[in-house]
């Protein structure tokens, strides 16, 4: 797979793929990287899910990471709606995607 999401443990890899389809791979990668930092794993926030991000994800507490990842995705979607009121109609569906 081009982006290597399948190399990540479940459910992180599946969530990353799901979010990348909707918000794009760079934004999804940044959400994962922010979630990793929230879990005490210092990684660069560059949107590239490379070796350092994969290693940090493998070492992180998976329950804490998925919770932080969902929260970061929801924050991204809320920011989109706040920046453009026309997007507010999509927010309930986006939040559902973030938290599922």
SS3 assignment, position 32 = helix
- What mean pLDDT comes out for the span 70-98? 97
Domain regions of the chain by residue span: 5-99
What pLDDT sits at residue 2? 66
Taking the C-alpha atoms of residue 88 and residue 41, their distance in angstroms, rounded to an integer, is 32
CATH domain 5-99 topology:
Chitosanase, subunit A; domain 1 (1.20.141)
What pLDDT sits at residue 7? 83
3 pLDDT exceeds 90? no
SS3 assignment, position 3 = coil
pLDDT digits (tens, 9 = 90+) for 58-83: 999 999 999 999 999 999 999 999 99
Asked which of 1-5, 33-37, 88-92 is least confident by mean pLDDT, the reply is: 1-5
Nearest CA among 95, 77, 100 for reference residue 14: 100
Mean pLDDT over all residues of the chain? 94
54 pLDDT exceeds 70? yes
What pLDDT sits at residue 77? 97
What pLDDT sits at residue 5? 80
């Amino acid at each position: 797979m081009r982006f290597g999401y399948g190399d990540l443990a479940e459910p992180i890899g599946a969530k990353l793929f799901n979010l990348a389809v909707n918000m794009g791979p760079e934004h999804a990668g940044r959400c994962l990287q922010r979630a990793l930092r929230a879990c005490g794993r210092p990684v660069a926030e560059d949107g590239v899910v490379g070796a350092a991000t994969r290693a940090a994800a493998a070492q992180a507490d998976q329950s804490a990471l998925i919770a932080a990842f969902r929260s970061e995705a929801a924050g991204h979607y809320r920011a989109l709606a706040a920046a453009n009121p026309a997007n507010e109609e999509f927010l309930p569906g986006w939040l559902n995607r973030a938290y599922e």
